[in-house]
């Protein structure tokens, strides 16, 4: 419904983690009717919205109202805050109904971090996918319930990729389709290798395929294990190498680069 792709997710007993990608180009290319239609899948519209979607003639003042709404809806449909609102509200209502109580279900507003380069994206995805293993709720990625990694593994067995997740599209090349710049096979191997080391709680060696990915990302294995076990402890703000972090802060006109020391320590290894 949103112009937002899901790269990775895990649903735990009292919280969830998501790795998201905003698809700005998709939202821009939606027609005005498509924007209103998408919005009405989420929130009940009024008669004016319904008339517009059905293609009925509108008065000039009504068209002005629709134009304003379309601009607002388009912006909201690629906004993570609105995505989280649409996701969390039904969960809270159902939980309160089951517990026969009222009040706040979530402790507070969600926390988000910008992932600025492919190393940050991949490390955060692996951190999310390995949550049940770190919590000793599962022994292997394929037995990790309510995770994107289990969904990817089930699809991979059939030689497919889940249509509900942002796909892996392989290494970079011309006319690149939308997706993650790695092969699905390599990522699954990397998560499996990492999970074995994390679960054993001791040094272990990565497979040749996983070592190639870490070499491409310029991340030593020791750093990778640290990133995939303590990602949210290490980073409190935007995550990426210092070059990307500087560009991000300049774009937002921020004078201070939050977390620059940790970004340099764990992601600047080239």
pLDDT tens for 163-220 read 999 999 986 555 566 899 889 999 999 999 999 998 877 677 788 889 988 998 889 9
Does 118 lie in the same domain as 70? Answer: no
| 207 in the same domain as 150 | yes
Both 73 and 119 in one domain: the answer is no
Note whether 41 and 134 are same-domain residues. no
Please tell me whether residues 171 and 232 are part of one structural domain.
yes
Residue 21 lies in a domain: no
Last residue of a domain, one of 78, 104, 134: 78
pLDDT score for 226: 94
Domains held by the chain: number: 2
Distance CA 145, CA 151 (A): 9
Range of the domain at 43: 31-78
Both 246 and 127 in one domain: the answer is yes
Is residue 167 domain-resident? yes
pLDDT digits (tens, 9 = 90+) for 58-94: 999 999 999 999 999 999 999 999 999 999 888 888 8
């Amino acid at each position: 419904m949103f112009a937002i792709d899901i790269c990775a997710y895990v649903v735990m007993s009292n919280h969830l983690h998501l790795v998201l990608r905003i698809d700005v180009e998709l939202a821009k290319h939606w027609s005005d009717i498509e924007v209103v239609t998408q919005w009405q899948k989420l929130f009940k519209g009024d008669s004016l919205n319904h008339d517009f979607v059905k293609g009925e003639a509108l008065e000039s003042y009504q068209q002005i109202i629709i134009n304003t709404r379309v601009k607002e809806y388009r912006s909201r449909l690629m906004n993570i805050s609105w995505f989280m609102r649409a996701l969390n509200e039904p969960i809270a209502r159902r939980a309160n109904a089951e517990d026969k109580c009222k009040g706040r279900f979530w402790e507070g507003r969600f926390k988000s971090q910008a992932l600025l380069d492919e190393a940050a994206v991949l490390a955060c995805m692996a951190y999310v996918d390995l949550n049940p293993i770190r919590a000793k709720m599962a022994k292997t990625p394929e037995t990790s319930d309510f995770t994107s990694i289990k969904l990817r593994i089930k699809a991979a067995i059939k030689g497919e990729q889940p249509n509900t997740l942002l796909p892996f599209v392989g290494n970079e090349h011309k006319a690149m389709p939308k997706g993650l710049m790695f092969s699905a096979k390599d990522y699954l191997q990397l998560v499996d290798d990492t999970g074995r080391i994390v679960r054993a709680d001791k040094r272990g060696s990565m497979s040749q395929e996983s070592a190639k990915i870490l070499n491409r990302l310029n991340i030593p294995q020791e750093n990778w294990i640290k990133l995939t076990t303590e990602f949210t402890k290490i980073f409190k703000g935007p995550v990426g190498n210092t070059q990307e972090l500087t560009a991000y802060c300049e774009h937002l006109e921020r004078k201070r680069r939050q977390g620059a020391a940790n970004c340099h320590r764990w992601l600047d290894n080239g």
